[in-house]
Amino acid sequence: MNMKPWPYPRIIAHRGGGTLAPENTLAGMRKAKELGFAAVEFDVMLAGDATAILMHDQRLERTTDGSGAIAETAYSDMLALDAGGWFSRDYAGERVPSFAHAGELCVELGLWADIEIKPVKGFEAETGRATALAARELWHGAAVPPLLCSFQPAALAAAKEAAPELPRGALIQSIPHDWEQWMQKLGCVSVHCDYRMLLPHQARAVRNAGYWLLCYTVNDPEIARVLFDWGADAVITDRLDLIAPDFA
């Protein structure tokens, strides 16, 4: 398998604006763009009414002023919540964005998207399917499609079935011995791993097998430099203040 060179930005802003803005918000994406970043990563989950939204946790408490389970809360109810005040007063009033609004903003700002399918437990296939179908529509006609990734094989399989033309990546903490079998089964083009669990020979193996390699969440410029020396194609970072868009 021969993989073409990585065609996307090599520095990806984690959850939108990293540590400089509330995570998984439109404000975070705007902050990344303002700082010159050309790529953002964010999480997509289904609300209780099956609306695709940007959210990492399965509950509301950490990143909003609301409470309760995401799977039991309709998106219409989330719109009344503050998703920015927990971060700073400057972002008070920021709302939980729908995936539709986030995708539209990415296209408008020219931001490439690394989209993590982050299903509530029990909704893996449903979330993978919904995210893929929405991404197909949101990026229809775009020159560069987003990359869909997930820790959940069932979500990736559903995304593959729903929109096989969209590229997919396998999110893993450490690279297992049978990683390539999973890549082939799910039709993935990239491996996304925890940089702390990566060894140099594994990085070489991924690249030699023709897959792209992304590392998360890299917040030290020196570590980023080492990973690129090992052959990593991109790093996802929270520290937009330390690792510049043109770092690589």
Residue pLDDT, tens place only, 168-191: 999 999 999 999 999 999 999 999
Residue pLDDT, tens place only, 51-109: 999 999 999 999 999 999 999 999 999 999 999 999 999 999 999 999 999 999 999 99
Q: E strand or H helix at 148, and its extent?
A: strand 147-150
Write the CB contacts of 34 (distance below 8 Å, at least 6 apart in sequence).
Answer: none
- Indicate whether 128 belongs to any domain: yes
Check if the beta carbon of residue 1 is closer than 8 Å to that of residue 207: no
pLDDT value at residue 1: 52
**Mean pLDDT, residues 135-150:** 95
In 3-state terms, what secondary structure has residue 192? strand
pLDDT tier at 3, thresholds 50, 70, 90: low
CB atoms within 10 A of CB 36: 11
Task: State if pTM tops 0.85.
Answer: yes
CA atoms within 13 A on the CB side of 175: 25
CA atoms within 13 A on the CB side of 136: 15
pLDDT value at residue 63: 98
- Indicate whether 122 belongs to any domain: yes
- Indicate whether 150 belongs to any domain: yes
**Mean pLDDT, residues 130-137:** 98
Check if the beta carbon of residue 189 is closer than 8 Å to that of residue 159: no
Is residue 2 over pLDDT 90?
no
pLDDT tier at 248, thresholds 50, 70, 90: confident
- Indicate whether 1 belongs to any domain: no
What is the set of active-site residues?
14, 56
pLDDT value at residue 143: 86
- Indicate whether 245 belongs to any domain: no
Compute the residue count for the chain. 248
- Indicate whether 4 belongs to any domain: no
Determine the Cα–Cα distance for residues 136 and 165; give it in Å rounded to an integer.
9
Exposure string for 8-28, b = 16+ CB within 10 A, e = fewer: bbbbbbbbbbbebbbbbbbbb
Domain range for 174 is 11-237
Whole-number average pLDDT of the chain: 97
Q: What is the CATH number of the domain that holds 33?
A: 3.20.20.190
**Mean pLDDT, residues 5-15:** 97
Exposure string for 201-234, b = 16+ CB within 10 A, e = fewer: ebbebbbeeebbbbbbbbbeeebbeebbebbbbb
Count of structural domains within the chain: 1
pLDDT value at residue 31: 98
- ∠120-42-189 over CA atoms, to 5°? 90
- Indicate whether 213 belongs to any domain: yes
**Mean pLDDT, residues 24-30:** 98
